[in-house]
Amino acid sequence: MGTVLEELSAAVKGAAENVGPSVVGVGAGGSGAVVSTGVVVTNAHNLRGEETVITFADGRRAPGRATGVDIDGDLAVVAVDTGDAPALAWSSGTAGIGDAVLGLANPGGRGLRASVGFISATGVSFRGPGGRKVGGALEHTAPLARGSSGGPLVDSAGKLVGIDTHRIGDGFYLAVPADEALKSRVDALARGEAPARPRLGIAVAPPQVARRLRRSVGLPDRDGILVRAVEENGPAATGGISQGDLVVAVAGAPVSTVDELASALEAVAPGAPVDLAVVRGVEELTVTVTIAASSESAPA
């Protein structure tokens, strides 16, 4: 048993020593990782505007500027003078259940933290800051202190396997896998290419709220997405959608959850018209809306 623990301890120490210089503090309370010269990746929810301060392992602080932010995917890239901080090497394999991992962080630049755990599940979904579902996350058991989100999850060789996002309770944590898709997203954000999201320009209420409100005014139950606010001069307003409408279908496909609405909108090309079935009181009508594209997060 002693030999196993000694080997584990040596692996953790070695990885922490090798990877530690690549782990940075982001702002007052987040973490991040140097992934190439001049480029730091972190979570979108760690940023409080376009400008932030990056704190390196040696204590050096440097101003950083967000080149691209994907709020829905909770990912951001910050351009900063990385100095001598080395870039993390990406793992060439795919992390699977049972793989040992090391979680590293530098919460707000207050010093390196490192903990060990195992991949406990793959393909896990979570909701990003914008409310959209993000799939494919790694679930692991490496304990993370507050402020660790945005820090790297590495394998026993110290290679990047994920970017930690948040804890989900009971000792489990989630990380966005460091796969080819993440590499492409990071490269695009580094070039200033934020993802364009199709949007209607509405704020919505959960289905259970819609049903409760309809019952409270004597209207029959109906599955759908309740419009609680409409952006002035936005696509929905221009198309004739009003506050209080219930969106029940997009392009003929029924929608009863926010995720279904998001999926239906993503199937429509930006700038293209689409028919929405809307219930207004007891009347059902069809409105035609021209979908807009936005690189900023919005409910829909």
What pTM, to 2 d.p., does this model score?
Answer: 0.77
Note whether 289 and 272 are within 8 A (CB).
no
Determine how many CB atoms are found less than 10 A away from the CB of residue 212: 13
The one-letter amino acid code at 54 reads I
Q: CB within 8 A of 218, min separation 6: which ones?
A: none
CA distance 109 to 116: 20
User: Based on the number of CB atoms within 10 Å of its own CB, is 280 exposed (0-12), middle (13-18) or buried (19 or more)?
Assistant: middle
DSSP state of 44: G
Instruction: Domain 197-294: give its CATH superfamily.
Output: PDZ domain (2.30.42.10)
Euclidean distance between CA atoms 161 and 283, whole angstroms: 52
CATH of region 2-190, choose from 2.40.10.120, 3.30.70.260, 3.40.1210.10, 3.40.50.620: 2.40.10.120
Burial string for 10-49 (b: 16+ CB within 10 Å, else e) reads ebbeebbebbbbbbbbbbebbbbbbbeebbbbbbbbbbee
Return per-residue pLDDT of the chain as tens, 300 residues. 568 788 878 877 888 889 999 999 999 999 999 999 999 999 999 999 999 999 999 999 999 999 999 988 899 999 999 999 999 999 988 899 999 999 999 999 999 999 999 999 999 988 777 667 788 999 999 999 999 999 999 998 899 999 999 888 788 999 999 999 999 999 999 999 877 777 788 888 877 787 888 888 888 888 888 998 898 888 999 999 999 999 999 999 999 888 888 888 888 887 889 999 999 988 999 999 998 766 544 445
Its sign, for the CA torsion 50, 134, 131, 139, is negative
Listed residue (10, 22, 300, 9) closest to 159, CA to CA = 22
Give residue 201's region: left, alpha or beta (phi > 0; psi -120 to 50).
left
* Structure tokens belonging to residue 281: 């009181």
What does the domain layout of the chain look like in residue ranges? Answer: 2-190, 197-294
